[in-house]
Amino acid sequence: MFAVTTIAILVAMMLALGRALLGPTLYDRILAVNTFGTITVLFIAIFGFLTGRPEFLDIALVYALINFITTIAVLKFFEYGDMGRSSLEQQESDI
Amino acid sequence: MLAFLAILGIAIIRLDSLFAAVMLTGIYSLVAACLYIEMDAVDVAFTEAAVGGGIATLLFLSTIALTSNREKSGNQEKSGSQEKPGSKNSLPAFIVVMLTGAVLMFGVSDIPKFGDSSAPAHQYLSDRYINQSPQEIGVPNMVTSVLASYRGYDTMGEVTVIFTAGIAVLMLLGRGFRSNTRRTRVKTDTKSSQGKRSTGE
Amino acid sequence: MEHHLVLRVIAKLLIPLILLFALYVQFHGDYGPGGGFQAGVIFASAFILYSLIFGVGNARSVISFNLLRVISASGLLLYIGVGVVALISGGNFLDYNVLLSDPVHGQHLGILVIEFGVGMTVAAVMMMTFFVFARP
């Protein structure tokens, strides 16, 4: 049961990797990275249960958190071209 | 999995857009972490998750925000120098790289096989750690006991390195306030400080 | 990021949980995977999430730059201090056996304290680096 799931996740990983490598636009790559992060979380959780060590779930949690933060950072970089600004300060600097 | 890593590495070198390269670096560290999990190195995978997947990508992105998104030819960028085939430096560099690779491959042949129980590292030290550390330290996670107690001096060195890297970044980039006079200098200095950071990790 | 209501609410919900998780990783490192280094990075990533959504300026008013510098130095000092205390009480440098009367408990205390020092330094350095990079 877990083994089949692991193989399915590996196939999904390959597909996401292909999209990241081929991706004509940058948005394809961003989406691929995000998908890959989610797949990694699933893979770690499944692999933990496959080998009978559920404490791997800790790491899966960390990945979920970090993936969230990274995605927000990437999107913010795209929207503002800058990491540090909030929109309020940007208005001030425009004046 | 290792094939994934190899494909990704080649793709990162070939790419011209630094942003896409950063994205691929993120995937690279995710794949590496999966590999660590498969080899049961949970603590290493944890570190890779926190540092490689998150913080390094963030820092690369903010470096791109400071500098530029395109790779200059003949400039030593983060993802390796993109030497054009007609460039005059390419042949000696190629020879040096091939020589280094050959020496490394020669060295690899001396390394014991993965999981070989008669390897020197598994003969004395591992035995002692595995058998003695529950009595001596009393900490269930053996990695922590080795890292913090048996190898405490090394860990102190690592913390010092991180601290020094932080000081170096502060010295190069200043206190981090946006000012026009500093902006030109920052552009030239960012790359070297990025190099320092990666050694700090 | 004025208009991103969902992001702001989610971030307010998540940040305390991330901080709690970082502390769990810090002090549970003896029993499960984790330790000072990982905990420091996770702790810093909570603040980085805050500064991504509410702006680095606001994040800096939450935790000031000078405080971060003091924390990063004092983490290292805490680590070395444990070694010096062990030296004074008759052992070798960083020999935790002499910290308490029982060697095993001494080891436990020593590991806990130095992991805390590592976590402080790593968290502070990561936050400083991000602040500096995000706002030249």
ipTM: 0.80
> In sequence order, what are the residues at sequence separation of 6 or more whose Cβ sits closer than 8 angstroms to the Cβ of residue C89?
C98, C99
CA pair distance B67, B73, nearest whole angstrom: 15
Pull the structure tokens for residue B191. 């790359």
> In sequence order, what are the residues at sequence separation of 6 or more whose Cβ sits closer than 8 angstroms to the Cβ of residue B85?
none
For chain A, the farthest-separated pair of C-alpha atoms sits apart, in whole angstroms, at 61
The Cβ of residue B196 has, within 10 Å, a number of other Cβ atoms equal to: 17
B186 within some domain: yes
Of B23, B30, B46, the CB nearest to A30: B23
Question: What is the per-residue pLDDT for B199?
Answer: 44
- Chain A residues with CB under 8 Å of C133 CB are 83
Per-position pLDDT tens, chain B of length 201:
667 777 777 777 777 677 777 888 888 888 888 888 877 777 788 888 778 777 888 888 877 777 766 665 544 444 444 444 445 567 888 889 899 999 988 888 877 776 666 666 666 666 667 776 666 666 667 777 777 777 778 888 888 898 898 888 888 877 655 544 444 444 444 444 444 444 443
B146 within some domain: yes
> Which of C45, C50, C54 is the best residue to mutate to test the A interface, defined by the most A CB atoms within 10 Å of its own CB?
C45
How many separate domains does chain B show? 2
Of B24, B53, B57, the CB nearest to A63: B53
- Chain A residues with CB under 8 Å of B62 CB are 77, 83-84
Residues in chain B: 201
- Chain C residues with CB under 8 Å of A83 CB are 52, 56, 133-135
Question: What is the per-residue pLDDT for A65?
Answer: 83
Number of Cβ pairs closer than 8 Å across A and B? Answer: 93
How far is CA B136 from each of CA A10, B47, B82, C102, C108, rounded to the nearest angstrom? 42, 26, 53, 11, 10
SS3 B47: helix
- Among residues B83, B110, B125, the one where a domain terminates is B83
Question: What is the per-residue pLDDT for B190?
Answer: 46
Q: Which amino acid is at A55?
A: E
- Among residues B83, B105, B127, the one where a domain terminates is B83
Pull the structure tokens for residue A10. 């590996």
Q: Are residues B151 and B73 in the same domain?
A: no
pLDDT in tens, C106-118: 777 888 888 888 8
Subunits next to C (3 or more Cβ pairs <8 Å) are: A, B
Question: What is the per-residue pLDDT for A45?
Answer: 84
Question: What is the per-residue pLDDT for B71?
Answer: 60
Residue C15: pLDDT over 80: yes
Best CA proximity match to A29, nearest among B64, B8, C83: B8
Q: Where are the domains of chain A?
A: 2-94
| Enclosing H/E stretch for B153 | helix B152-173
Taking the CA of residue B150 and the nearest CA in chain C, the distance in Å comes to 9
Chain C interface includes B196 (CB < 8 A):
no
CA pair distance C13, A65, nearest whole angstrom: 12
CA pair distance C131, B106, nearest whole angstrom: 44
Of C1, C32, C49, the CB nearest to A69: C49
CA pair distance C81, C75, nearest whole angstrom: 10
B88 within some domain: no
Domain range for B190 is 141-201
B128 within some domain: no
B108 within some domain: no
Q: Cβ contact (<8 Å) for B49 and A30?
A: no
Taking the CA of residue A6 and the nearest CA in chain C, the distance in Å comes to 22
| Paired residues of A63 in beta bridges | none
How far is CA B81 from each of CA A29, B57, B74, B88, B94, rounded to the nearest angstrom? 23, 20, 6, 13, 12
Of C45, C93, C125, the CB nearest to B166: C125
Q: Cβ contact (<8 Å) for C41 and B183?
A: no
Q: Are residues B78 and B7 in the same domain?
A: yes
B161 within some domain: yes
